């Protein structure tokens, strides 16, 4: 009897589906906020420390992470001076626990009327799912286990580039 592969596809697609559903409903998105003032570089620490931005007393990170562990902002963004930022207060594990090192994630940064950084909330969320350390910490051990236990599976052949 041939088994169906749809349950495996459904399990693999659950997280992207839920994230897509969340991103498709603007009513669920946090309201973007704007702040103007003097931009300066600051430290955001939660286990690891990273260079973040501070504008008008508000600490902002440049990359969204579901865990809330900050990533350093590019040095060109951390140049001191007057600036305007648009940010969103997005849910993270650290925020839910009350230990978040930043008040929000940067969506847009303007200096002297020019936009020097712009990233949508959707792009931040997809980057967190597929580019974050958490994804790789889960995916690669899982991939290694599948390759080890089922070396003749289609996934194993694709992951090891074998015929």
Predicted confidence band at 9 (pLDDT cuts at 50, 70, 90)?
low
Predicted confidence band at 159 (pLDDT cuts at 50, 70, 90)?
low
* Mean pLDDT, residues 128-136: 67
Q: How far apart (Å, rounded) are the C-alpha atoms in residues 159 and 149?
A: 14
Is the pLDDT higher at 95 or at 38? 38
At residue 153, the pLDDT reads: 82
- Taking only the tens place, the pLDDT of each residue in 89-115 is 887 888 888 888 889 999 999 998 899
* Dihedral, CA of residue 9, residue 12, residue 15 and residue 19, to nearest 10: -50
pTM of the complete model beyond 0.75? no
Range list of H helices, 31-132: 93-97, 121-130
Which H or E run contains 143? helix 133-149
Predicted confidence band at 75 (pLDDT cuts at 50, 70, 90)?
confident
Burial of 83 (0-12, 13-18, 19+ CB in 10 A): buried
Average predicted confidence (pLDDT) for the chain: 80
């Amino acid at each position: 009897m041939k088994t169906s592969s749809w349950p495996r596809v459904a399990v693999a697609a659950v997280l992207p589906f839920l994230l897509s559903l969340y991103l498709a409903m603007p009513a669920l998105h946090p309201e973007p906020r704007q702040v103007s003032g003097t931009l300066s570089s600051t430290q955001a620490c939660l286990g690891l420390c990273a260079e973040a931005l501070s504008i008008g007393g508000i600490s902002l990170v440049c990359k969204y992470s579901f865990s809330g562990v900050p990533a350093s902002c590019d040095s060109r963004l951390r140049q001191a001076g007057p600036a305007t930022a648009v940010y969103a207060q997005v849910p993270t594990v650290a925020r839910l626990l009350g230990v978040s090192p930043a008040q929000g994630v940067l969506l847009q940064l303007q200096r002297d009327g020019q936009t020097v950084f712009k990233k949508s909330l959707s792009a931040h969320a997809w980057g967190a799912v597929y580019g974050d350390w958490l994804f790789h910490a889960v995916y690669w051990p899982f991939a290694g286990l599948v390759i080890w236990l089922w070396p003749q599976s289609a996934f194993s052949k694709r992951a090891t580039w074998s015929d």
